Amino acid sequence: MNNSKGKRSNGDEHEDEDDEEEDEANGGGLEAWERAYADERSWESLQEDESGLLRPIDNKATYHAQYRRRIRSTPSTARIQKGLIRYLYIVVDLSRAASEMDFKPSRMAVVAKNVEAFIREFFDQNPLSQLGLVFVKDGVAQCLTELGGSPDSHIKALMGKLECSGEASLQNALELVYGYLKQVPSYGHREVLILYSALSTCDPGDIMETIQQCKKSKIRCSVVGLSAEIFICKHLCQETGGLYSIALDESHLKELLLEHAPPPPAIAEFAIASLIKMGFPQRAAEGVVSICSCHKEPKVGGGYTCPRCKARVCELPTECCVCGLTLVSSPHLARSYHHLFPITLFSEVSPSYSSKQQQRIPKNCFGCQQSLLNPGNKPGLFVACPKCSQFFCLDCDIYIHESLHNCPGCESLRHSKPVIDAEE
């Protein structure tokens, strides 16, 4: 099956390219900027009706043209999102400098709020990745949460311990994080994201050695500063391939943080592809009492059962504490699958074509059952799936490609696959 899937997606790319060429031919001679205007010269579509009044512009066609431009401008390679597995420590500087109030109400409060948003976004975009939190204050680094996959437990821990005092120590933070990250599996990407408020660092030894150590272990270190640029942070990021940026205000801080949520493209090269054994536990019925293996406490309802050893765990993703199997929720993985199997672009069917072959064309959209005829029984603009040859209205075209990611026509045909293979 896999082979045929692969073949099919190759086929898709061919069709895409063909479409692209066709497009070039249509817009032939026009510069890119001219084409943009050509699509939006809405005044030309103004029409008068019988009594001389202007008819409302058909926004639908314009909107659809914009959508098609958008979908074509995404190169087919970008449609495959790399689901890299990342292991990230967030280091939050809670030294005295974090109590400054140039950010309202204070740097610390603003950082906490935005780190929370970042954590949620991170897990949304990196389903199998793990994250941990480290605080720096009073010249020492302390681990707040270990690497884990549950956004809620990190956020709870973060919000519970917000006090700042003393000096910051970049070296202590890096040493602590290095100790944890060197143990992660080799398919994982090791990253550190530091939110640094202080203008100095109070280190016990030679920080340059620590930086080299991180570089050797392929730990990518990035810093988002809240005050001015400092040399040692810049050096750290340069050496380890990370990003160094300074936040000007709160919205800028948020933007800089969220830049770190999608997997960085550069480190994709570091990736050692690996097959990881995982289990998809069954969720227990509500109201069932059992003892969980993670907290060793009786729990009512919910919970998941390890498919290998049948131990009960409270939340996913996690590692079974009895047999060590990595346990994940399969829908969590499945959310990204539409990137792997994108559906073919539908081709536009022009009214002239359809009037010639009207017998063959059904009156209704295959998806929403809406009539494909304009008022007055004139055929409107619509699209057809090149694989199953079903017709769709423009609204369904957009919905199918941007949200549903299935072609209802192809999914409603048991034999669509062999037929395609025969055509190729």
- Sites for another protein among residues 40-99 (CB under 8 A): 80, 82-85, 87
Minimum gap (Å) between residue 391 Cβ and Zn ion: 9
Q: Residue 328: what residue type?
A: V
Polymer length of the chain: 424
> By C-beta, is 198 or 400 nearer to Zn ion?
400
What is the DSSP pairing of strand 189-196 with strand 219-225?
parallel
Of residues 156 through 185, those in contact with another protein by CB under 8 A are 179-181, 183-185
Cβ proximity of 379 and 361 under 8 Å? yes
Cis peptide before 362 (omega within 30 of 0): no
Helix axes 107-125, 151-160, angle to 10 degrees: 170
Question: Which tokens belong to 129?
Answer: 């990745």
Say which residues have a Cβ less than 8 Å from residue 123's Cβ, sequence separation at least 6: 129, 131, 149, 151
Question: Which tokens belong to 24?
Answer: 């070039």
Minimum gap (Å) between residue 278 Cβ and another protein: 5
Task: Tell which one of 211, 230, 396, 420 touches another protein (CB under 8 A).
Answer: 396
Task: Tell which one of 198, 349, 388, 420 touches Zn ion (CB under 5 A).
Answer: 388
Q: Is residue 324 close enough to count as binding another protein by CB under 8 A?
A: yes
320 touches which of another protein, Zn ion, none (CB within 5 to 8 A by kind)? Zn ion
Q: Is residue 346 close enough to count as binding another protein by CB under 8 A?
A: no
Neighbouring CB atoms inside 10 A of 364's CB total 13
> By C-beta, is 232 or 410 nearer to Zn ion?
410
In a 10 Å sphere around its CB, with 0-12 CB exposed, 13-18 middle and 19+ buried, how is residue 44 labelled? exposed
Minimum gap (Å) between residue 76 Cβ and Zn ion: 16
Q: Is residue 86 close enough to count as binding Zn ion by CB under 5 A?
A: no
Q: Sketch the per residue contact string, 329 through 368, with Zn ion: x for CB under 5 A, - otherwise.
A: ------------------------------------x-xx
> By C-beta, is 230 or 394 nearer to another protein?
394
Minimum gap (Å) between residue 180 Cβ and another protein: 4
**Closest to 381 (Cα-Cα) out of 410, 357, 354:** 354
Q: Is residue 420 close enough to count as binding another protein by CB under 8 A?
A: no
Q: Is residue 282 close enough to count as binding another protein by CB under 8 A?
A: yes
3-state SS track over 371-382: ECEECCCEECCE
* Positions in the binding site for Zn ion (CB under 5 A): 292, 294-295, 306, 308-309, 311, 314, 320, 322-323, 325, 365, 367-368, 370, 385, 387-388, 393, 396, 407, 409-410
